Structure 1
Amino acid sequence: MRSLRRGAIALQPAAAIALVYLASRAVTTAFLLGAAALSGPESRFGADASLGTLTMGWDAQWYWLIAFSGYPTELPLDAAGDVAQNAWAFMPVYPVITGVVGWVVGGFPVAAPLVSAAAGYLACLVLFALLRRRIGRAAAMWAVVFFSFAGPMAALFQLGYAESLFQLWLLLALLAVERRRWWWLYLWIPLMAFTRPGVLAFALMLAVYGIWRWTRRAHDDLPPREIGHIVAGGLLAAGCGLVWPVITGVVTGEPDAYLQTELAWRRSWIGDHGGFVPFDGTVQAAVLWSRIWGVPAWVCLVGLATIVAVAALLLIADRRVRRLGVPIRLWAGAYLLYLLAVFFPQSSTFRLLVPLSPLWGAVALPRARWWRIGVLLIGTAAQWWWIYTMYALGSTFAQIP
């Protein structure tokens, strides 16, 4: 009897999270149906849009193409002779898994939202486990609520995108670091690396984490075995992050195939920009948006610098963020630095910030009911705004998820 009771207690968080997650998916489904009904002839999806066409829109088409026909052996070129947008920009784990599931359930368009939704639920379970010891059960559950409901990008949990699967591997890797279960990293890091770009930020996080542990070794024992795992994990993450460009180059016969493929998306915004220089994309984007918004370039640059400074201050000094633990804080800092170095900020910025989701724990910490309900309502409204803008409208360069 006692074992049954212990089992029931252990299942309670999973059951509660399941109810929260199902409710959040129902809300997102209603939003997508509303966006389909509001989609007009100027939208990318047309006046006859449906839930299925929205679910498989934008980048989902690339994953579907990979599952169906793989990657090209020759890089496509645009009219100017530059490398055009192509499938090599997208990693293989999500389309492979979804393609296999599609054989069972009736095709990739059916499997894609199922895989995303299942990965999203599992990610909620891991997020709860990651935060519970740090901020308590109630706050961790609220973080799950915010994660699944509140925020523009909650819709990704049922779209044909790889974000929810990447989020699952990331949270599992952070949990392994938090609990010092180092062997698990050798599984989660490769899965993360071949699901979405971003594993190089995890390599940086492990490097700084190792330095931090070394400085505290007098108070927190750091045996050689752990040093070996931290170093090996960091090297594995760095190696996995660099091997995809090598694979792309070998298959296509073009050493810089992956880099040119990624830059093809940037060229669609600013034309020929002279190649990749770390952090240059962020500056170029600030100048571009200053012209679009009709403000001096220095205003956007100062605004960007202010955002970076405030984010750094919060990660270092804010007491709510500090309660989340060092691995989460280091990951957030490393990932933001990674984005600044390689990303060209545009309409996909919200989506690229999803890997910062463990920070929902800091948002969930204030115990005032009005605060939590307010965050939930504002975040849910933001989700509708994102779905409406990117899917019901979806007609300009700035309306690309």
Structure 2
Amino acid sequence: MTKHLGRVTPSSVFSKLFSGFLTGPVPVLEDRGAKSSGADASSERRLLPARRTWVAALLIWAVACIFHLGLLALAHSQHKRHPTPETPLDIDFPGYLNVWDATFYSRIYANWYPHELPVRANGSVDFNNWAFYPLQPLLGGGIANVFGIRFSIASLVVSLLAGFVLAVVLYRLFIGSLNWRARGVFDTRALVGDESRSRLALWGVAVYALSPASPIFVTGYAEALSTLLLALCVWCVLRGRYVLLLPVALLAALSRPVGVPLGAFVGLWWLWCTVSDYRIRRAGEVSQPALSDAWAAFRGRFGQLLGALLVCSFAFVHPLYAALYTGRPDAYLATELGWSHRKPSDGHQYFIQWVNQIYRDFSGAVPKAVLALLFVALIVGFYWWISCKFSRTLIHPAMWLWTASYAGYLFVFWLPISSTIRILLPLFPLSLLVVSYLPKSRWYRPTLAVLSILMSAGWVIVLWGNVLITRHIVLVP
């Protein structure tokens, strides 16, 4: 702090306000009673070899990618029985891996976004490029232009590279969370003596890499890139790197529509840190009024608050660009609502779209009142599950807040269609939570991996093999 003749100068006030911006310390958590063993103490700073940590995570991801590519190759050979406009008979394998959503990325690369929105006869906006975000086509297009290759291949390169980096980031997040549980410190290193925690983190990566919708990571979809950026955002928050968080969060908000839950997560984390700082101040010898301690806690996290507000603003970048580019203020909203043949005048449904969509899927066989009760039970059950003592003490609070924020975003805004399983991929902390049950069991985690393989195979067969395409139903991955 800069002082002059016993007075606090304006520069010191400024530094106080922004002290939590460049690097805000993560609140120190109370000791859970986990004591370091003698082996841990003697092996401090001795890292486990890379082949047992991040290299193993890369190998696991590579095996999963090979398996997924094999599944999709089988689906490619089978789709010829049910060709569609997106998958004609003569489409090659790279082209097949760039159908559905990835088709729009190739259109953005070729023609950018439309100046005028296509409108249906009922007044709703027809399918168009504005529903998809520009980062994947920009990166894929850049690679295609530099190396002179097809965009479909370049987009696959982006997804594959992002996926392998994601494997390392997930391992670091998982081992850091497990170390936090054991030592009370978020340490992304695996030291000698941490072998069991490292194995558990690798199991978390394996189950996630083989999870039902994980084959999407070897396609031209933006899921691999978006999930990587989200995981990096969680890492930045956990390490208190709020300046680094800003460009990463901006890129994440330009990869897929994840700006709203990301902004909510960073804002809630600021609140959690501020309340924790206040409680720490009040837990010691109380020498100041509660209001003074509250102001001190707020002031110490003011820079972090500004960063959180900036992250929240990133959710509006793409919709604002759409408004300016088309001259229509509701261009993005109208496009999103048009996906379900609705108009902005119909209003955006919150929560109730789950009930209405499932009611239509079952052709009205289940009363809406029953579906509403089941939906409420789903929300309550989910938050009870991630809030029980085992979950709270396993997942770091920042990872818990990300999970709660993203799930809440889906409950409020998401229209449950056949893409729902793919949309759940950002809930990656749940993979660590699931594999942590039955710690002494030898069959539990291998069984989880086998079940994940079977479910991912089913997901590919159903949504990419076109076996369920009929005259009226087309399931979109």
- 1:274 maps to 2:350: no
Q: 1:98 aligns with which of 140, 148, 165?
A: 140
Per-residue Cα deviation, 1:171-210 (whole angstroms, up to 9, x for no partner) = 1110111122222111211011111111211211222222
- CA drift at 1:335: 1.0
Q: 1:35 aligns with which of 63, 75, 78?
A: 75
Aligned-partner Cα distance in 2 for 1:130–1:311: 22
Which residue is equivalent to 2:105? 63
User: Does 325-334 or 311-320 show the bigger shift?
Assistant: 311-320
Aligned-partner Cα distance in 1 for 2:344–2:110: 32
Which residue is equivalent to 1:234? 308
- CA drift at 1:382: 0.8
- CA drift at 1:47: 5.2
| Paired AA for residue 116 in structure 1 | S
| Equivalent residues in 2 for 1:245-394, closer than 5 Å | 245-267=319-341, 274-291=346-363, 294-320=365-391, 322-366=393-437, 367=439, 368-393=441-466
Give the alignment's Cα RMSD to 1 decimal. Answer: 2.4
| Equivalent residues in 2 for 1:182-261, closer than 5 Å | 182-218=242-278, 227-261=301-335
TM-score by length of 2: 0.77
1:89 to 1:272, Cα distance in 2 relative to 1, 3 A: closer
Bigger-Rg structure (1/2): 2
| Equivalent residues in 2 for 1:72-87, closer than 5 Å | 72-87=114-129
| Paired AA for residue 476 in structure 2 | I
Aligned-partner Cα distance in 1 for 2:268–2:62: 38
1:398 to 1:234, Cα distance in 2 relative to 1, 3 A: farther
- CA drift at 1:10: 4.3
Q: 1:174 aligns with which of 234, 239, 243?
A: 234
1:330 to 1:7, Cα distance in 2 relative to 1, 3 A: closer
| Paired AA for residue 369 in structure 2 | W
- 1:148 maps to 2:209: yes
Aligned-partner Cα distance in 2 for 1:216–1:321: 16
Query: Are the counterparts in 2 of residues 203 and 233 from structure 1 also a CA contact under 8 Å?
Result: no
Question: 3-state SS of the aligned residue for 1:213?
Answer: helix
- CA drift at 1:282: 2.5
Per-residue Cα deviation, 1:262-299 (whole angstroms, up to 9, x for no partner) = 011112xx79982314334223223323426x322233
- 1:112 maps to 2:155: yes
Question: 3-state SS of the aligned residue for 1:311?
Answer: helix
Q: 1:26 aligns with which of 47, 66, 90?
A: 66
Per-residue Cα deviation, 1:91-123 (whole angstroms, up to 9, x for no partner) = 111110011111215111111111101101111
Aligned-partner Cα distance in 1 for 2:353–2:345: 9
Question: 3-state SS of the aligned residue for 1:217?
Answer: helix
1:325 to 1:71, Cα distance in 2 relative to 1, 3 A: same
Percent sequence identity over aligned pairs: 26
